[in-house]
Structure 1
């Protein structure tokens, strides 16, 4: 199977809902708590060390960043959430931007939710899950930094998170992931590729639309 994410290129950055581009293809969103490893995960998936900015200071990603996928559609990097040292008004603006995007964006076909495997399912993660679960669209959870856990702890965490999310409506899948060890990439591709394929017609254009 050829890669879904490799070769992705930057398309546009958006600061507010009114700046979202016209829908010209399916969108796969990536979201996660600040410092959960979202940017590192994106860089690992696309095979590019600096496509998504990795900051030593959590909360630096303040925009929705669009990356065009070679096969059509977009990878959409949402602002990290939950960093306490960001001013309250900025955090509120981010939350409004993220919530509106997740609930109202028709071209969004699924969400990849990033959680630190050592600290999964925080209150803020549950807020994100509740925002999105009502859409009925699929969600795939990446438990990042899995290399920092023992094998037994990895298995226990994976089972715990799967059980906690098992009652949610719609398709919800969970996996372990490590940007450092480059493990879990194939599994992400296997889960997420069908989201894109089902939204594209054989010509690579959105169903019922034109480029």
Structure 2
């Protein structure tokens, strides 16, 4: 038991270090393609891998950590005005991050006693779900929170026709990033998780 706790602590420390690098080192965790809009982030990949390895409770805690870093980043070094406006709001920072940490752990737990093929398939699904959960919840929460006062936010998202619904503008502005993130995370997650799960099972 003590050996397992030490191993889990070491894994958590390693993932925290990786996540800090992704957050604060330019072009590692946040890759900017379109100026003025939020960057494509590799953070969901790290969250998905950690949650699949450590379970839903640990994944949720890691999601809380992600949300906290989002708030800190928004106040200290926002890369664009949209990110500043969005992620200084604690609900937009924390709720998508927490859910993105929880869901892959639940998917991994549900498939842990299944065949190897089913497990690997579940890792693909978990990766996509992690990224899509984050993107969809950010869009939905933003549309709800800024519904009555969207002019400032709309002004930074591009040239949209007058009267364009905020949620439509968000889907156009953020949806492509979210789709790219989801595909990337779905492909890479099983490549990382499968060998790590094998190593962890042998180390018990």
TM-score (norm 2): 0.28
Determine which structure has more spread, i.e. the larger CA radius of gyration. 2
More strand by share: 1
Task: Flag the structure with higher helix content.
Answer: 2
Superposition TM-score, scaled by structure 1 size: 0.27
